[in-house]
A and B are shown apart, each in its own frame.
Chain A
Amino acid sequence: MFDRLSTRLQDAFAKLRSKGRLSEDDVKEALREIRRALLDADVHHTVAKELTERIREQAVGQEILQSLTAAQQVVKIVNDELVAVMGGEQAKLGRSAKPPTVILMAGTQGAGKTTASAKLARYLTETEHRRVLLVAADVYRPAAIQQLEILGAQIGVSVFSQGTDVAPPEIVGHALDEARRGGYDTVIVDTAGRLHVDEALMVELEQIQAVSTPEEILLVVDAMTGQDAVNVAESFHKRFPLTGVILTKMDSDTRGGAALTVRHITGCPVKFIGTGEKMDALEPFYPDRLASRILGMGDVLTLIERAQATIDEDEARNLEAKLRRNEFTLEDFLTQLRQVKKLGPLDQILGMLPGMGKLKQLQGDAVDDRQLKKVEAIILSMTRQERLQPELVMKSSSRRVRIASGSGTQVRDVNQLLKQFDDMRKLFKQFSGMGKGSRKAMSGLANSLRSGGGGAAFPSAGGRNKRRR
């Protein structure tokens, strides 16, 4: 559907290089591609403009364009900017000093508030063992109350409702009494969808806020939102002390640029993303992943899907169990690499990875299966014990010298491999904490590939960037 930014950039830069000399005009073409990618991703147009302007300055100034990996570098600059804007780590949900903690859900029609309220209730019940009371404060949308009641029943969380004849601020007041009586420590208030230009409903939400003094006011935003996200974010932000954002429908094929706008305007972190209609489809948010998504860097999803189809489910589960127990060894690493090989010809896989699309052509045959052979050779030159306990090799330079000579490689290759293995292991660990099932393991695989972990097989691929902080 969308061309990949990195590929398009590489084309643009390839053209530039063949000319040998760069003019401002040449740079323009590359910048146009970046701007197009950002706009296609629904990044706000003023941001797209600003960002390309900034890159123009950097690109011309730092002789980026002279370099072989110009495209990767430019993508990296944009990526880093995006990650910086999206903010660092995922923020937790607060608890008020005096229970019950109130979480108020707000947003426009159909964004996913009711669904997110229930998902959140389930999440807090299961992971933080909170006692949650859901409150049906949408008296306008037909069957909104039933919708929440059905979801509540599904997840085993109580729902407080008073029909459609009581005013929402009153309902919320009564719900708080009920929560105190019933020993609930957390109250999640589902509100009606409202347009930011609907003065009456905005006032109503202020009244709800006044009676409930929420600890969290979460703005629920559909990830597919376009340029109008700026107006929504601004209006809600102006009137309410928002504390976070829930980005829904991230399971769509949207690039999600609106998130950038919302994050920036409200200054609030995205606390969760919705990734499906079912109650367990709520995930923590990783800024770097959104950045790659906006840029269309690498068709990582395709790769994940391919991986799912190719890679043995049992093996994946087995691997994940190992990861969780922190037993991931170099032997497993090798298995992983061989799995990757099974996905298809390396150059095809590389095409799906960010920044690697055109590399093969640029650097002749540098990137091919021989790289993989090299890694195999290194690992096979280790003793079994070393493979199972990579720390042995990491700690001993004499072992590394031996392995290098045994595999016909340089010590530097061995070091690089170990480092990449270590990075990969860390990544996997992060991932395995996230959820269950092989889907997660596979996205772990794809992500480690993406951030260069699997780059062990292609050490010359370049453009490796440290992302996770």
Chain B
Amino acid sequence: MGLFDRFKETLSKTRQTFTSRLGAALRRRKIDEDVYEELEDALLSADVGLETTTRLLEAVQKEARRQRLETADQLTPLLREAVVSELGEDACAFALDDGLTVILVVGVNGAGKTTTIGKLAHRFRGQGKKVLVAAGDTFRAAAIEQLQVWADRAGVDVVRQSQGSDPAAVIYDALQAAKARGVQVLLCDTAGRLQNKAHLMAELEKLKRVIAREVPGAPHEVLLVLDATTGQNALSQAQLFRDSAEVTGIALTKLDSTAKGGFVIAIRHELGIPVKWVATGETIEDLQPFSAQEYAQALFADV
């Protein structure tokens, strides 16, 4: 039928567009419809989503007119600024005080929860904190063993039961242990769950209740782990996890891939949830606090 015949062609063209046309030659290009269309393509490729893309570009266009900008290269800084302002102040990491901080880590299957917990444990320990992790994923095969390996790497203890046991019981044990041992950071792993599965989301609510009952004011952070290679479904994830677990921040993982996770802009704008951490690999060091500036820079690295 030929509908998709031009697909690949267009694709490689799109890519050239970013690096060549929008690159050096951009300087001399006059701002026209095509320029905006190319910027739109760049944003859509980064999973920013149509609505947000349109909003960003409208803002840029308005500003460009106001400043009477003429060449295309002047648009990129504007766009970057627009992204930074949408993403808000850097929500920067977690506020840890001397008492016990309980961090509940949630997300869909395979997003990178367990790995991120390993990295966080390592980081907090490096800051001299007493860290404990709870093996709250009692469902997935070898999830506990996986967390144990990460905890060993980070040099922290694990509270665990056997596969199939009640996650609420594990978390309860961990809370008691944390209080008894004077732990400062308790990281709770949970099983991956798809946000559209009501019973699993209800289980999460229960975990939260258990935590709140044992430690007033806890969990202090509910970290939603989002895979940067995800598309627009990330919005649904953010919304439904927020509804059930009152998410306080996002860890955006797998940014070492070619994906950019541009949906975080819409999530911040619509749901007000900030990105707190970004993960860029599978080693224990591959985790950084989020910076809107750097993110915006990376988003348009090719532009």
**Chain A residues with a Cβ under 8 A of chain B:** 1, 35-36, 39-42, 44-47, 49-51, 54, 81, 84-85, 108-112, 140-144, 146-151, 154, 195-197, 222, 224-232, 234, 249, 251-255, 257-258, 264-265, 277
Contact = CB atoms under 8 A, between A and B. Distances in A.
A435 B164 CA distance: 27
A226 B231 contact: yes
B257 A197 contact: yes
Contacts of B149: 142-143
B139 interface: yes
10 contacts: A39-B50, A49-B10, A50-B10, A108-B257, A110-B227, A146-B145, A195-B258, A226-B232, A253-B194, A255-B232
Contact of A1 (B11, B143, B194, B236): B236
Closest 8 CB pairs of A and B: A226-B231, A110-B110, A42-B231, A142-B149, A228-B259, A147-B142, A143-B145, A150-B141
Interface string B167-201: 00000000000000000000000001011110000
B102 interface: no
Contacts of A265: 7-8
B41 A228 contact: no
Contacts, number: 169
Given A40-B50, A46-B14, A277-B139, A143 B146 contact: yes
Contacts of A47: 4, 7
Contacts of B44: 39, 45, 227
A111 B11 contact: no
Contacts of B140: 147, 277
Contact of B231 (A150, A224, A249): A224
Interface string B247-289: 0000000101111100100000000000000000010000000
Most chain A beta carbons < 10 A, residue from B8, B140, B197, B257: B257
Nearest to B113: A110
Given A42-B232, A226-B231, A231 B258 contact: yes
B230 interface: yes
B231 A258 contact: yes
Contacts of A264: 4, 7
Contacts of A51: 3
Nearest to A151: B141
Contacts of A234: 11
B22 interface: no
